[in-house]
Amino acid sequence: MNKTFASLLACASTFALALPAFAADQILSGAVTSQSGQKLEGVTVSAKLEGSTITTSVSSDASGTYVFPPLPAGKYRVWAQALGFEINKNAVDLTSTKKQNFSLQEIADAERRFRQLPGEMMAAALPEATPEDAHMKKIFLNNCTACHSTSYALQFRFDEAGWNKIINLMKVVPNNGVYPGPTAKPNQIMERNQKQLAAYLARARGPGESSMKVAARPRPTGEAARAVWTLYDLPLNPDAGIGTRYNPNDGTEWALGTTSKLGQMPHDGGIGHDGTLYFTLNNPNKLGTIGKVDRKTGAVTYIKADAANGRAAGAHGLVRDAAGNFWFDVNPGRRALGKLDVATNAITIYQTPEGMSPLGGAVTMDVDGKGQIWASTPNGAVRFDPAAEKFTEFKSTAPSKKNARLDTYGAAGDRDGNGWWAQMATDTIFKGDVATGKAIQIKLPDVKVDQLTADDRAFYETVNDLGFNNPAPWSQGPRRMGTDKNADVLWVGNSWGATFARIDTKTMETRIILLPDVTMQAYHIIVDGRHNVWGNLWTSDRIAKLDPSTNRWTMFDLPVRGTEIRHISLLEQGDKLSIVVPVYRSNQMGVMTVRTEAEIAAQVTAAK
């Protein structure tokens, strides 16, 4: 044996023998009760290893018992909370302790109790007993949620003059949340209703007694209580001028309210076949176009395509293909289609030909059943053949309303290779028929609105700037969509109508399905291999699951507040389903899995 090699081998062996033995993963469990001793079901219990960026959260069952899946040994911060109760924080060293009980105390302070609420519950509490109040509630839900959740505004109290100042600003701010300057044209609907809306909000969230009535929401039970959430903190965007690396209010303590989104990073997200998380960076930055999260360590790395201005080229939409590579829109100067090869981290950019629309709008994309990539453009969608590296364009036909902007939002591909996209301002869905090369238009039915006067209705009919954040009260607001790749069905999330739309991709038959509450706002839809429909309710801090065979809804609560999720994706491997969401406002990537009752029983036994 070579002496040098033998010497190195001996040193390596000595080093290996000197390494500490790592403790096996441990299972943390315990019980949650109220101060009176009542067992509390559906309480969120979270654990975070000291020095880590990874938080795991579970719920207590009907007996008040919670149990975590196996966690690495070490010192943890653990906490439990539920709506109406103060957070209870503790520390646990899992190398020596496997039990931690919690006793929760009811919140005495009304404002702390209110700030805990998800936006959906705040909005539901707004008064609507009179036609005037119902009208203002609808205006608030439709026109004050283009760039933030209802909870971000309603967590604060202002008098009528204060609410007027806020409306003065927000009526000129577009859906991207960026102030366009003093010469910007105001939102006509907000301007018409400003005086009444400011007075309405001051009665609800002003300095005096509130007109709001908050209804209790049941805590998670059954399947929803078996969910396990893993959240991965992302560094804040240093280009935002923030002095801290991570968000000091990351949504984990609900009574702190909804955080600012300044410095947030992820927009869309996905999971690779090996479990690595990926996300797009939509805000201006120098770090990267695509971010990656190592799920074992939480480490975040970036992959960068250069923009013409010297920064990273931004990206918005994201989808995984059958080979496990990711497709996204990318803006190096003219918005194009990008492909990430996950094996090499190489980005390839494909530009649409001159004379064809670039990618644009709120760019979203999908892979159809034939392996073709569909992506939205400002006035329709394009189909990209990865083998031939060829684009085909489909354009929206003229809007059914002359006063509406033609802006594409969601895009999807069906199992037959056809494309679909939404024109949000006109409540219109289009099919790109590959056989004919034509776009086929489907108009969604109006939301039923009873509280409008004849004058109001006449005014809304003539508004000439209907758009993403200026909808008529009867608008459905189709955002992002998904097709069932094992059936001939397209599902659309309607943000203003509090509905899903189900469209037969063969016959175009359209059915509107009401969400459980009119204040729920759908955003994006995906469909799993069992035909279950999953959607993120972006102002509710919830994921909704609809079983179409039974028309049964299951609501999965996120463990953080003010999430504003704008994208949802999944990975199915055998019987294991992982739901992935970029937790937009609180700057995290989230993964949800659902344990079986047998898995929980085995973990409870192992914890004894």
The SS3 of residue 312 is strand
109 CB neighbour count, 10 Å cutoff: 10
The pLDDT of residue 581: 98
The pLDDT of residue 17: 32
Q: Could you give the strand order of the β-sheet that contains 365-367, starting from the edge strand earlier in sequence?
A: 365-367, 373-377, 380-385, 390-395
Distances (CA, A) of 466 to 138, 322, 381: 15, 38, 21
* 551 Ramachandran zone, left/alpha/beta (phi>0; psi -120 to 50): left
Residue with structure tokens 């201005």? 309
The SS3 of residue 434 is coil
The domain containing residue 193 runs over which residues?
Answer: 113-205
- DSSP per residue over 34-93, as a string? ETT--B-SS-EEEEEETT-SEEEEEE--TTSEEEPPPB-SSEEEEEEE-TTB--EEEEEE
CA-to-CA distance for 49 and 78, rounded, in angstroms?
A: 9
116 CB neighbour count, 10 Å cutoff: 24
* 461 sits in which H/E element: helix 454-462
Q: Which two tokens stand for residue 267?
A: 């927009």
Instruction: Give the chain's mean pLDDT.
Output: 92
CA-to-CA distance for 215 and 516, rounded, in angstroms?
A: 14
Do 356 and 491 reside in the same domain of the chain? yes
The SS3 of residue 21 is coil
- Is there a contact between 1 and 8 (Cβ–Cβ < 8 Å)? no
The predicted-structure confidence for 331-370, as pLDDT tens digits, reads as follows 999 999 999 999 999 999 999 999 999 999 889 999 999 9
The pLDDT of residue 22: 41
**Residue with the larger pLDDT of the pair 426 and 16:** 426
- Is there a contact between 370 and 358 (Cβ–Cβ < 8 Å)? no
CA-to-CA distance for 278 and 263, rounded, in angstroms?
A: 18
The predicted-structure confidence for 545-594, as pLDDT tens digits, reads as follows 999 999 999 999 999 999 999 999 999 999 999 999 999 999 999 999 99
Q: In one letter, which amino acid is 67?
A: V
The pLDDT of residue 5: 30
CA-to-CA distance for 407 and 381, rounded, in angstroms?
A: 11
Do 197 and 117 reside in the same domain of the chain? yes
The pLDDT of residue 549: 96
Do 358 and 454 reside in the same domain of the chain? yes
- Domain boundary among the residues 514, 530, 549 is at 514
**HSE-up of residue 313 (Cα within 13 Å, Cβ side):** 20
The pLDDT of residue 182: 86
Which residues, listed in sequence order, are joined to residue 438 by a DSSP beta bridge?
Answer: 433
Residue 437 lies in a domain: yes
The pLDDT of residue 402: 61
Residue with structure tokens 């289609």? 337
Residue 478 lies in a domain: yes
Q: Which two tokens stand for residue 22?
A: 């790592």
Residue 321 lies in a domain: no
Helices 160-170 & 188-205 angle (0-180, nearest 10): 150
Share of the chain above pLDDT 70, in %: 95
Do 367 and 433 reside in the same domain of the chain? yes
Q: In one letter, which amino acid is 135?
A: H
pLDDT band at 465 (very low <50, low <70, confident <90, very high): confident
Do 148 and 101 reside in the same domain of the chain? no
- Domain boundary among the residues 74, 108, 142 is at 108
Residues 6+ apart with CB under 8 A from 339: 325, 326, 327, 347, 348, 350, 386
- Domain boundary among the residues 178, 205, 232 is at 205
Give me the helices (H) in 62-208, please.
110-115, 119-125, 131-143, 150-154, 160-170, 188-205
- Is there a contact between 465 and 405 (Cβ–Cβ < 8 Å)? yes
Q: Residue 142, class by beta-carbon neighbours within 10 Å (0-12 exposed, 13-18 middle, 19+ buried)?
A: buried
Q: Which two tokens stand for residue 178?
A: 């960026």
The predicted-structure confidence for 238-285, as pLDDT tens digits, reads as follows 988 887 899 889 999 999 999 998 899 999 999 999 999 999 999 999
The SS3 of residue 368 is coil
What's the CATH code of the domain at 506? 2.130.10.10
The pLDDT of residue 12: 32
pLDDT of 514 above 80? yes
Q: Which of 516, 410, 381, 394 is nearest to 468 (CA)?
A: 410
CA-to-CA distance for 517 and 379, rounded, in angstroms?
A: 32
Strands 102-104 and 29-34, sheet pairing: parallel
Tell me which of 12-26, 446-460, 501-515 is least confident: 12-26
Do 481 and 360 reside in the same domain of the chain? yes
- Is there a contact between 522 and 494 (Cβ–Cβ < 8 Å)? yes
* 607 sits in which H/E element: helix 597-607
Q: Which of 84, 166, 172 is nearest to 121 (CA)?
A: 84
Do 122 and 86 reside in the same domain of the chain? no
The predicted-structure confidence for 113-155, as pLDDT tens digits, reads as follows 999 999 999 999 999 999 999 999 999 999 998 778 999 999 9
- Is there a contact between 59 and 44 (Cβ–Cβ < 8 Å)? yes
pLDDT of 7 above 50? no
**Residue with the larger pLDDT of the pair 183 and 84:** 84
Report phi then psi at 593, rounded to 5: -125, 160
Residue 427 lies in a domain: yes
pLDDT band at 404 (very low <50, low <70, confident <90, very high): low
Residue 295 lies in a domain: no
The structural domain count of the chain equals: 3
Do 369 and 492 reside in the same domain of the chain? yes
Identify the DSSP state of 197.
H
Residue 214 lies in a domain: no
Do 368 and 505 reside in the same domain of the chain? yes
CA-to-CA distance for 546 and 568, rounded, in angstroms?
A: 14
Q: Residue 16, class by beta-carbon neighbours within 10 Å (0-12 exposed, 13-18 middle, 19+ buried)?
A: exposed
CA-to-CA distance for 589 and 440, rounded, in angstroms?
A: 36
CA-to-CA distance for 608 and 46, rounded, in angstroms?
A: 20
Do 127 and 153 reside in the same domain of the chain? yes
CA-to-CA distance for 550 and 122, rounded, in angstroms?
A: 30
Strands 380-385 and 373-377, sheet pairing: antiparallel
Q: Which of 41, 49, 68, 65 is nearest to 57 (CA)?
A: 68
Residue 489 lies in a domain: yes
Residues 6+ apart with CB under 8 A from 258: 119, 149, 151, 152, 155, 251, 561, 562, 585
Residue 225 lies in a domain: no
The pLDDT of residue 85: 98
Do 357 and 494 reside in the same domain of the chain? yes
Do 186 and 199 reside in the same domain of the chain? yes
The predicted-structure confidence for 30-85, as pLDDT tens digits, reads as follows 999 999 999 999 999 999 999 999 999 999 999 999 999 999 999 999 999 999 99
The predicted-structure confidence for 297-316, as pLDDT tens digits, reads as follows 999 999 999 998 889 999 99
Residues 6+ apart with CB under 8 A from 260: 249
The pLDDT of residue 179: 86
What's the CATH code of the domain at 39? 2.60.40.1120
The pLDDT of residue 18: 34
